[in-house]
A and B are shown apart, each in its own frame.
Chain A
Amino acid sequence: MQNDEEEPDARIFSVDSRFEKLARRPGGVPREEAIERAHEMIEELKPGFSQWLDRELSELGELIRQGEAHDYDAAWSDAAYQQCHRIRDVGTTMGFDLVTFVANNLCEIFATISSGGEYRADLVDCHIQALLFARQERYRNLQPEQLPELSSGLRRVIEYVPKEHAPK
């Protein structure tokens, strides 16, 4: 896409949006207070996170079980990727950085399968096990770097995902 400066017919105008006008009004919640309140509210949501994660993992497990019937095709791996991405997008916010890390790894595996890579059950299974491990309460607020054996091990596993299907 071209830059605006290359466009001879560019019309430039100001938009004084309601958001800009009203958000600058005095009387809002100061940044530090707002962030603290948000963290408190997230804390209140955390008990429900475990139930949500259990449901998501159960659905992911079911998707993986259906993979063979779908010949591990692109549509199947896309669905598995999306499922895994949901877990990835929430983990850190809820204090489970390790869950996000493992789910992100698994996303990479499904993305590789989606673009023609081969499905390897052992590589997916070890990530599912790692997710079940990482979801435990005692690993909340732990960073992947604090569990180097697990995190570096899973990163190495990613390198073994075949980029292409082996000839049958």
Chain B
Amino acid sequence: MNIDQQTIRGIAHLARLEFDAKDEASLLTDFNKILTWMDKLNELDTTNVAPLIHMSEEVNVLREDVAKVTLSHAEALFNAPKKDSDYIRVPKFLG
């Protein structure tokens, strides 16, 4: 399978990544290597094989509906690059 520049740029946009032309070329090579390997896997007939979603056999790891305070308000805001006393602040993205 071959991936084109258009697809690389589309994925980069969705992932909010930016890179220059040189990096783009090397990404294209890496992507294609990975996808060629995937093509190899695709040679296997997996009809009637359920997809493996989880590696462990564990099911129903649940918690009871109990409310707890685990972070203080100050701690909650601590790592925000920009904040005021109540809110986390981000660049405005709507008129």
Q: Is this pair of chains taken from one and the same complex?
A: no
